[in-house]
Every structure is written in structure tokens, then in C-alpha cells.
Chain A
């Protein structure tokens, strides 16, 4: 009886593992192949049958990324654009989400969403002219401003959902305790919403970091961000797969690390104990 139960449990977890593997395998294989590409010499790339683990690792591909491009500058550009756009989005989006959730102003939330749904290219050209007229072209500001179109709606929408689920009694208790509306937001609503803020921060960051369309239109040689830089490697160096894969991995790495770090901040059940069944 007991052994059958154990066998059943093992089968269950094996099945679960299999399903999980099938679901994530495209991503894993894709990543493994990218790592393999970035470590192979050009000659191994065309080999048949394909080589996954080369005999000699081509670490030089990574060096080449930094040698042949102004990669560090583009990296810095990306950090500035994504960092500023994401932080600004939090500053704007978290209070906005709170306001919309508390005032039940879903209509304004829809308007914000429309901005996100509009294809970027439809407003990029007019905006390019506006930025030119403001003589902002050649600085990072056009990209920062336009990245807000991506980051603000994400933050607002996630925060609306989050604030709607936090119990209103907590805020009522605070206002009875003598808090002004601003203090209620800052001292009660905001600390409780921390997991929501972290999630929206990560998502906004990923979308902004990987954005390509805005960069390719608005950036010049000095203001390029990483996705655009990777793309340019493709066009100027014929197709040298090794450095390209190395560059792509370098671009992915910061976001990956940050996500892993930030995930720890999302403490499940932070509101547990606030209200019954919470």
C-alpha cells in the first residue's frame, strides 16, 4: 500500500517534470545554442553534423565584441535610457495606478492602454520631427521619453491590479489613525504594494531594455542602445555568428541577473495577516 503510494508520487513528479521540460525546452535549447555559437570559431559554425560543444572555445568572440565596437558606450546608453525610463515610469505610474484603482477610473486606464496599443512606427516619425525641432536629436532624451510609452502603461496596469486587491480597510484604518491621504499612500499603501512594484519594475525594464524599433529610428552613432548595436554588427560584419551570439548574450545578461535578484524581493504573501484570510 505504502510502496504503491510512493510509486504514484514518483510517477506524478516525473510527469510534472516532463511537462515542465517540454514547455521550457525551446527557451533552453535556444539559449544553449546561443552559448554554443558564441564559443565556436567560424569554421565550426558551418560544420556538419552540427557541433554543440566545440573542441576549442573561441573566447575571442567576446573580446571582439568589445574591441570592434564602441560596445561600452552603447551599454552605458542602454543603462541610461532604460534606467531613466523605468524609474520615471515608477514615479509616474505607481501613484497613477493608485489613483485609478481608488477612484475606480478605469476609463483613464484604457486611454493609457491605447497609447501602448498604437504601433510605434505610426507616431515615431512625427515625434522624430518634434524632437528635431526641440534640438534633442543627438541626446538620449528622445529615446528616454519614447520608452515611457512602453514602460508607463505596464507599471500603471500592474499597479491598478495590485492596489485593487489590497484591502481598503487598511487605508481606512490609517485615515482614522490620523493619516492624511498622502500619508495613507506613502506609509500604508506603498509599502504593501512592494511586490507589485517589483514585478512592474522588472517587466518595464525588460521591455525597455530589449526595445529595438525606437532606437533604430531615433538613435545615431553616439546614442545607440544595445539592441541596435547588435543589429549593426549583423549588417557591417557580414554575418559573423560567433561575435553576434556573444553580443546578444552580453545584452541579455544584465536583465537576467537583475530579474533573478529582484525576484527575491517579491515576498509571497506579504499582506498575510493584515486581514482575515488575507
Chain B
């Protein structure tokens, strides 16, 4: 177990800069998720921590040790790859014991460590199978087993669940979380799925175009997103953004829609271009409030997703109750003003 400190880390491919000086501090035993859309540099960052990608500038420390320029094999890390990367010519047992065999551990020790990891992951009966004889979920578990057996300073996960089907993904998500709570090894987890990040991580790092947009606890990011990007990325369905200005003590769009403002608001000069942000789940169906016409209605049983056309603005609402709403019906939606966010249109920052 160890801390990980990333200081001003940069990555260039020739003249193209993909990571622009990133700082992240990860404490011992923490579960950190790196999230962002594809191409944001999250996988590159993870591969630099792993030692699979050269560092162009800055430094990475694992524990007290500066590792930026030492080879992957000497970094005392374990990594789980998106496509599992199991050795096809080795059995599950050999796959899991490979690292120990390279360290020239004795056979009995390898057997007991592999056995223990297999017990944690429920792989005892599969030890003499080959990877091609396993299902996707089992392969993923073997890949995790291979990491556990090492007892490394840091676990690295590179989108480990994106090849699994939806149901299995939820199950494995729980298993990884349980494993982390049990073993307590510092973990860095890359994903493009914000739900994975929200449910598993102690701390989320949101990356965009090689920059950090925000670092914080999952609920912090949800409640107090630093800017429009984070606000739109975290939360599902995504937050509504409506352009407008504050005039006469209310938020008005150019088409005349009026939205309620939060009470605690610093004074904002009128005439400044703003973006109003409200999450779909913070809008209630009511008999008053915004009047709109339903242009999309999707019910899942537990909740009802409705898109409203309110004076030309497209507003997504997520209702927790069952309502009899059909296409084209007029609906009144009431916004909880305490949950509303205001962003500066120019800088994207939250006010």
C-alpha cells in the first residue's frame, strides 16, 4: 500500500500535447476514479503511472519513490486491462501465479497465495481451466485475481468493465468495491462511465482535453460542480442547461421563459450572459411552475423521464412517481430553486 503523488505530469506526442501538467494527490488506501469522455487523456495518464507510456514532463511518486523513469516491472503495481489480457497458453492458476513465478517465489507460497486470491473471487473450481474456457465475467475475475496475488502497492484498472454486459457490469462493480474494502489497496480506476465512478470511488478526477476540470468526492461533484463540463458529465440523465440573463430579479431566456433563482446568490450584474443548470431529478410534476408540452415520455416503472418543450426550451425531467402523461400533453413542472446552478456563459464557471 502506498500514496501516489502526481506532479505537473505532461505528455506530448511530437508537437501534440495530450496532457497539460496535471497534479493529483492520492492518499494511502484511497479509491480514485479518473473519468472523462474518450480522448480526454485518462488512459494515457494511467499508462504513465503504470510505466507503459513515457512521461514527457513532471514526476510520479509511488510512496516515497520517484518512479517516472523506472520500468513498469519495478514499480510494484498491478493492472487490470479492459480486454483482460490473460495469457492464453497458461491456466487460470498459472496466470495468477505468473508474477510470483517471475519473482522466483517457491511453489508452495505461490500455491497458497493463488489459492487465497481464488477464494476471494470464487475461482477455486476454475484454476486448471484455460482463459478461452471462461466466460467474460470469469476472465475479468481472473484478471483481478492476477492483480490481488501480487499484493502490489497500487492497483490500476483501465476500463475493466466496459466489455461486460450491463447486468454483469453492475455485479462486477460491486465485487471490485467489496474487494477494495477488504484489501484496502490504493486503487486508480479509469472509466468513461460516470455511474461507475460515482458508485465506487472515494475521490473522482474529472479530465477533459488533458486538463483536470475538478477533483472531489462523488457527491461534491454532484452537488457543487465547478463548471458546466463537470455539471453535464456527472449525473444521469444529464443536467439541463438553459441560456439566459438575470433581469428584474428572475432568470429569463430570450424566448421569455422565466425560471426561479436560488435564494442565496451573490449579486450578479444584470445583462451578463448566464447558463441556468438544473438536474432532471430536481424538477417535480406539479400544478404550477413551468408549463410545457411533453415531446418524449419514457417510463421504466420506477421513474418517468419526460422531455418538455417549454417556450422553445428543451427541458428534461425525471419524475419519481407514476403519472399519466402522454405525448403532446401539457405538463406543469416545478423547479426546486435550491438545487439550481448558475454558470457564467463565457468562462463556464459556476457562480
Contact = CB atoms under 8 A, between A and B. Distances in A.
Nearest to B133: A273
Contact of B83 (A191, A192, A278): A278
A274 B88 contact: yes
A269 interface: yes
B75 to A, nearest CB: 8
A272 to B, nearest CB: 4
A275 B133 contact: no
Nearest to B86: A274
Given A179-B102, A183-B102, A172 B132 contact: no
A273 B134 contact: yes
A164 B88 CA distance: 16
A173 to B, nearest CB: 4
B107 to A, nearest CB: 17
A276 B77 contact: no
B84 interface: yes
Contact of A175 (B52, B83, B139): B52
A117 B125 CA distance: 54
Contact of B81 (A169, A175, A271): A169
B187 to A, nearest CB: 15
A277 B164 CA distance: 12
A178 B151 CA distance: 13
Contacts of A173: 79, 81, 85, 87, 146
Nearest to B129: A273
Contacts of A194: 89
A239 to B, nearest CB: 53
Given A176-B50, A179-B73, A275 B83 contact: yes
- Identify the interface centre among B84, B85, B86, B134: most chain A CB within 10 Å of its CB: B85
A273 B51 CA distance: 25
A276 B73 contact: no
Given A272-B132, A273-B134, A177 B85 contact: no
A170 B132 contact: no
A176 B72 contact: yes
Interface string A147-185: 000000000000000000001011011111111100100
- Identify the interface centre among A167, A173, A176, A274: most chain B CB within 10 Å of its CB: A176
B71 A175 contact: yes
Nearest to B149: A177
A114 to B, nearest CB: 30
Contact of A176 (B78, B103, B134): B78
B88 A273 contact: yes
Contacts of B146: 173, 177
A270 interface: yes
B81 A172 contact: yes
Given A169-B81, A173-B81, A176-B77, A272 B71 contact: no
B98 A177 contact: yes
A172 B85 contact: yes
A273 B83 CA distance: 10
Nearest to B47: A172
Interface in B83-109: 83-89, 98-99, 102-103
Contacts of B131: 273-274
A275 to B, nearest CB: 4
A174 B81 contact: no
Contacts of B50: 172, 176
B223 to A, nearest CB: 36
A188 interface: yes
A276 B81 CA distance: 10
A171 B139 CA distance: 17
Nearest to B102: A178
Contacts of A180: 73
Interface string B246-277: 00000000000000000000000000000000
A188 B75 CA distance: 20
A244 to B, nearest CB: 46
A169 B86 CA distance: 9
A176 B73 contact: yes
B136 interface: yes
A275 B142 CA distance: 12
B307 interface: no
B333 to A, nearest CB: 43
B341 interface: no
Contacts of B78: 176-177
25 contacts: A169-B83, A170-B86, A172-B85, A173-B79, A173-B146, A176-B51, A176-B75, A176-B79, A177-B78, A177-B102, A177-B146, A192-B87, A269-B132, A270-B88, A273-B88, A273-B133, A273-B134, A273-B139, A274-B85, A274-B131, A275-B85, A275-B86, A276-B82, A276-B163, A277-B83
Q: Which 9 A-B pairs have the closest CB atoms?
A: A273-B132, A273-B131, A275-B83, A169-B85, A274-B88, A177-B99, A173-B85, A272-B132, A191-B89
Given A172-B81, A176-B50, 5 more contacts: A172-B50, A191-B89, A271-B88, A275-B84, A275-B86
